[in-house]
Amino acid sequence: MSDVIEKVYVGIDVSKKTVDVFADGRSQRFGRDGPGLVELAEWIGSLERAPHAVLEPTGGYELAVIEKLVEEGLAWSRPHPLRVRRYAQAIGLEAKTDKIDAKLLAGYGERFAPKAQTLPSPRRREAAELMVRHAQLVRMVSMEKTHSEHVSDKWILKRIESSIRRLERDAERVLLRVEQLLRADPQDQARLERMTSVKGVGRVTSLTLLVQMPELGTLNRSEIASLAGLAPVTRQSGQWKGRCFLGSGRHRVRRALYLAALSASRYNDTLKVFYQRLREAGKPPKLALCAVARKLLTALNSLIRNLQTA
């Protein structure tokens, strides 16, 4: 008798008020409230084969569903939306409704068998939300500064400057709260201190990586670069030699590493030499900086791995 457990992938499309599911050729819709989630869990639990739910990020609406799945001990995955879209394009699916999306996610699961994920702790989830808020505040500061360059009225300028100061204070408060959350865990505190000891890696980069890339230190160099969207993808066909480009990944992590690379290419002796060598070889500045960012990420990945095994 085989010990292999038969699995069924359950596609779940979550919207603000409803949850559409598809599995074993059946579709169903539930409310995204308490009773609806109870019915959803019961429906999934009644499937004959071991269920594995596949969901897409929906601005946080999916979290209540995931928490219910975790509560019931059900496996779940949340693949990158771009990969799901590419799968839809590959099978020629252009229509888009909640019901169709649920079926698409089930098909994605059957085709690619994504690994089951775990839900971060409440502390980690709060830190992740705060880092998103910090990025929003930084963008608003940038927008206000841009506005100030095109305004001559002193009354308006005064209020823009006041707005910038307020936004910068809020951004600092957010970072302080994230640091407080991370330093509550001795392991996270040690990781934070180790990362900020690297020249070019500042406070924001370290916090971004710790919060938004918890896999750091657990993957090999190729996997971690791919996860951040810093692994080069080559397009070539016959005698046509296309350019390499960066694949999809976690854009906030990639942006933080790119900004760190700007600093590292000037002040980190090893990475400064690496950057200059690439430029002398004819690489464009942005491409060279992306290579520095990738090298910086792999170095940090090794640092964290060594810290965990020490």
- Please compute the mean of the pLDDT values over residues 118-134 and round it to a whole number: 90
Tokens 């019915």 sit at which residue? 39
Percentage of the chain beyond pLDDT 70 is: 92
CA distance 118 to 220: 20
pLDDT band for position 4 (50/70/90)?
Answer: low
**Which range has the worst mean pLDDT, 46-55, 236-245, 299-308?**
236-245
Quick one: pLDDT at residue 96? 84
CA distance 63 to 25: 25
CA distance 199 to 201: 6
Global pTM reads 0.75
Quick one: pLDDT at residue 86? 87
CA distance 13 to 11: 7
Structure tokens that stand for 255 in this block: 């942006």
CA distance 115 to 101: 20
CA distance 224 to 294: 9
**Which range has the worst mean pLDDT, 69-83, 162-176, 231-245, 288-302?**
231-245
